[in-house]
Chain A
Amino acid sequence: DIVMTQSPDSLAVSLGERATINCKSSQSVLYTSSSKNYLAWYQQKPRQPPKLLIYWASTREAGVPERFSGSGSGTDFTLTINSLQAEDVAVYYCQQYYNTPLTFGGGTKVEIK
């Protein structure tokens, strides 16, 4: 199984500041023939299902604010929230879809400082 490790477990950021969440996979999720990284990011607010933010590691889903961006390749990935807003308080998960079983990171809780 590909193990997805997120860091930190939680972070507190001031409104308007940047939040950076890391996700590391135990093996590469880069499919070399397509040059695509098989990694997605989700946002989950309390009592709600996860909401897709990013796929192919850096493609923003339609309707997702531009302050959310994904980067990285191979085994190391980052979700960046620029200019944190109050509505961004949530738990964020990464997911690999390179192979099965599909696996998720343990989550990173983002709060307001």
Chain B
Amino acid sequence: QLQLQESGPGLVEPSETLSLTCTVSGDSIGSSGHPWGWIRQPPGKGLEWIGTMFYSGSTHYNPSLKSRVTISMDTSKNQLSLNLTSVTVADTAVYFCARDGCDGSGCSQYNWFDPWGPGALVTVSS
């Protein structure tokens, strides 16, 4: 059964770098063919797509965050990582990792997300 688990510091100081890891079990992130993404949700608010990494290694980021975000993968550890630099209180959110949910033929370059990890709350505060 595919499972995703986010981990990382729950508190980050303003202007510092937010770093999270998503550990995947039940699938190989480097060879499954599925893209993998990060999505965030500020407390009590809606969902914002951060970016997606493809099995080729290429990435695509939300333009609103592009200058500050890096998504990478470590296939030896079967982990996806997120780095967000120069954080402010506006970056306080639950951060989710998720797999592109499309299987088989008929998939587009981007699809829905399924499944999602449980999420990791990151608070930006001094």
List A residues at the B interface (Cβ < 8 Å): 31, 34, 36, 38, 40, 48-52, 55, 61, 93, 95, 97, 99-107
Given A52-B112, A55-B101, A95-B112, are A107 and B63 neighbors across the interface (CB < 8 Å)? no
Task: List residues 71-88 of chain B with CB under 8 A from any CB of chain A.
Answer: none
Residues of chain A lying within 8 A (CB to CB) of residue B16: none
The reply to whether the CB of B13 lies closer than 8 angstroms to some CB of chain A is no
A61–B114 touching, CB < 8 Å: yes
CA distance A51 to B78 in the complex (A): 23
CB distance from B72 to the nearest CB of A (A): 19
Of the candidates B46, B106, B110, B118, the one whose C-beta lies within 8 Å of that of A102 is: B110
Per-residue A-contact encoding for B100-126, CB less than 8 Å = 1, 0 else: 011000101011111111110000000
Number of CB contacts from chain A to chain B under 8 A: 63
CA distance A49 to B117 in the complex (A): 7
Task: List residues 42-95 of chain B with CB under 8 A from any CB of chain A.
Answer: 46-49, 52, 60, 62-64
CB distance from B4 to the nearest CB of A (A): 9
Of the candidates A55, A101, A103, A105, the one whose C-beta lies within 8 Å of that of B112 is: A55
Nearest B residue to A39 via CB reads B112
A93–B47 touching, CB < 8 Å: yes
CB distance from B124 to the nearest CB of A (A): 20
Residues of chain B lying within 8 A (CB to CB) of residue A103: 49
Of the candidates B62, B96, B119, the one whose C-beta lies within 8 Å of that of A101 is: B62
Given A52-B114, A55-B101, are A101 and B63 neighbors across the interface (CB < 8 Å)? yes
Of the candidates B96, B108, B117, the one whose C-beta lies within 8 Å of that of A97 is: B108
B116–A50 touching, CB < 8 Å: yes
Residues of chain B lying within 8 A (CB to CB) of residue A104: 46-49
Known contacts A50-B47, A102-B110; 14 additional CB pairs below 8 A are A38-B108, A48-B118, A49-B96, A50-B96, A52-B114, A55-B112, A95-B47, A95-B113, A99-B110, A100-B62, A101-B63, A101-B64, A104-B49, A107-B46
Of the candidates B46, B98, B101, B106, the one whose C-beta lies within 8 Å of that of A34 is: B106
CB distance from B38 to the nearest CB of A (A): 11
Residues of chain A lying within 8 A (CB to CB) of residue B112: 40, 52, 55, 95, 97
Residues of chain B lying within 8 A (CB to CB) of residue A49: 96, 98, 115-119
